[in-house]
Amino acid sequence: MISFKALRKNPFKSFLIFSSITIAVMAIFLISSISQGVIGMYSKMIKTDGEIIITQRGIADTFFSNVDISLLEKIDTLSHVKSSYAMIVGASPVGHIPIAGIYGVSKNHLSHYRLAKGRYPKNSEVLLGKTLAKQLRGRGVKIGSKRFKISGSYSSDIGFEEGGVVMNIDDAGKLFSRSASFILVSADSPRHTDTLVQNILLLDNDIEVKTTKSFIQEYNQFKIIETSSLVISSLAFAMGLIGIASVMSMIVNSRKEEFGIMRALGKSRFFIMKNLFIETLIVSLSAYLFALILSLGILALLPHIQMLQGYVNGSLSLSIALYVLASTLFMALLGSLMPAWIASKTDPILLINQGCS
């Protein structure tokens, strides 16, 4: 087939196009996937065992929220409450690890963390995530200014939880000087959720009560992450697409002599355009698939890199994959077919002379 012959005839140029497309596609895949992975993990943690979240009023980040844990007793007396628990989220140096997530939880939520070894922590004890446990040795660990005994390790479906530390909420309260970061409540039926939100709001003027779904949609940190990743990935992808179009255009222009000879031999403009279209399609699709496989491989490896402690994860959505595919093919075809169409309308003798000069 003529298209394959042309690709084999210009291996360096074909490799240049292939590399440009691969790098551009991987840029947006990895940046978008990692940001969505981080948001997805935190969202999953908040939504586990609770449809309602209670935070301090006027606080944009749960890391700075302080809710009175005694509210649990009042909440449990309300109708249609299935379960409730309090949690403190923070970050601190753990042993020789510069920073790790700290999760202080009420006793009724400890079972959320699946035991891999040992037992659940008592006062002045901690449970280490599997990823963190591999990096820490001994029976105890220093967190902040206090030393805790290690009671065991746990596993979790949420990546960055495995790189963190679980302790009783009383110990976390002393460590971070707060009562609870947030309280999560589960209703006995979804139809009672809105009623529960209104009833809980009446218990304290200093709290904000939302469904976990609305909280995640409005959470400022998620908006910052999404906006930042969108800007960075869009710039990277735009630069990559411009690069693809430029490389394709330069390579097509360098083949003017070839097009001139084809025209002189009686080949139609349609023949030239058809073969160039097939060439571009072959290279673009091959590079896209290669970038997709590489990106999925990297995303699969990220949770297992110990130095990242499970905090970096990624998930590639079908919509992003299809959007990138369409954009890549459009820019590659635009960069190759436009100069080819212009060249194909030029006198063959002029094309041959331009190619020889």
Among the listed residues 107, 54, 56, the one whose alpha carbon sits nearest the alpha carbon of residue 81: 54
Q: CA quadruple 30, 35, 40, 42: dihedral positive or negative?
A: positive
Model pLDDT, residue 250: 64
φ/ψ of 73, rounded to 5, equals -65, -40
- Residue 138: in which H helix or E strand, if any? none
Give the model confidence (pLDDT) of 161-170 as tens digits: 778 899 999 9
pLDDT at 101 over 70: yes
**DSSP-assigned letter for residue 180:** -
* Residues in a beta bridge with 299: none
Q: Under the phi-then-psi rule, with left for phi > 0, alpha for psi from -120 to 50, and beta for the rest, what region is 315?
A: beta
Among the ranges given (35-44, 107-116, 157-166, 296-305), the one the predictor scored with the smallest mean pLDDT? 35-44
Domain coordinates in residue numbering, the chain = 2-42+222-356, 58-205
pLDDT-based confidence at residue 2 (cuts at 50, 70, 90): very low
- Other beta carbons less than 10 A from residue 190's beta carbon: 9
Contact partners, residue 316, CB within 8 Å, separation at least 6 = 29, 32, 33, 295, 296, 299
Give the model confidence (pLDDT) of 141-155 as tens digits: 999 889 999 999 998
Find the DSSP H helices in 53-153.
Answer: 71-76, 130-133
- Each residue of 122-142: b (16+ CB within 10 Å) or e? eebbbbbbbbbbebbeeeebe
Which position has the higher pLDDT, 354 or 132?
132
pTM tops 0.75? no
Which position has the higher pLDDT, 245 or 146?
146
